[in-house]
Amino acid sequence: MASKTTLVTVAAVVATGVLAYAVYFDYKRRNDLEFRRKLKKEKKRVNKSVQQSKQVVEEDAPSEVGEDVLREALKALKNEPNVPLEEREAYFMNQISMGETLAAQGPSFYVPAAIAFFRALRIYPAPAELIGIYQTTVHPPVFKLVIEMTNMDVSSAPSPTTATSGPAVDDSLDDVSPERGPPSESGSQEWDKVTDPGTQA
């Protein structure tokens, strides 16, 4: 019984001390101009250091990834089998979820996250729309990696001129249109005679 009373007494003393400090802090914050200035300076300093550390992490992470790593990832992606139409929606959602999870784990997981987002981008019916969504929702370093992978994928695709092996076509003749003179009066008179079938009674 004595230990229970002692615990209650100690808890009451601690609670009273915390309450007294809170009242003192509030009083100083409201009435002491110098104390308020100190608090504001401290808050600004902490916010600034947090912001700088976030920027350093975001800027440094993509620079660590070499172009070779992304090219190897693209080669591996091209060797993957195509996803059947029935499974594309589930595959898309799975890749998006995986990308978000990996991106949240930190800079060392940015490349796998970018690969997951890129897989989802490859099967999405409107990739330009999805890139716009990525730009607003995905971590900037991961988004940068996805864009780099997209650029590499597009630049490595064969161009249409090299893909066709047929004879070269001269497009300069297609641009020439035949010269036409002014419309003839007989042609316009014939159009005047034509009546609308709905107005004939």
- The average confidence (pLDDT) of the chain is 78
- CA neighbours within 13 Å on the CB side: how many for 41? 6
Mind listing the pLDDT tens digit for each residue in 153-187? 887 765 554 444 444 444 444 444 445 555 555 55
pLDDT band at 55 (very low <50, low <70, confident <90, very high): confident
Q: Which of 21-25, 86-90, 165-169 has the lowest mean pLDDT?
A: 165-169
Mind listing the pLDDT tens digit for each residue in 110-138? 889 999 999 998 888 888 898 899 889 99
CATH tag for 67-156 (out of 3.50.50.60, 1.20.960.10, 3.40.50.1220, 3.40.50.300): 1.20.960.10
Domain boundaries, the chain: 11-60, 67-156
The label of the residue with tokens 């914050």 reads 29
Q: Rg for the chain (alpha carbons), in Å? A: 35
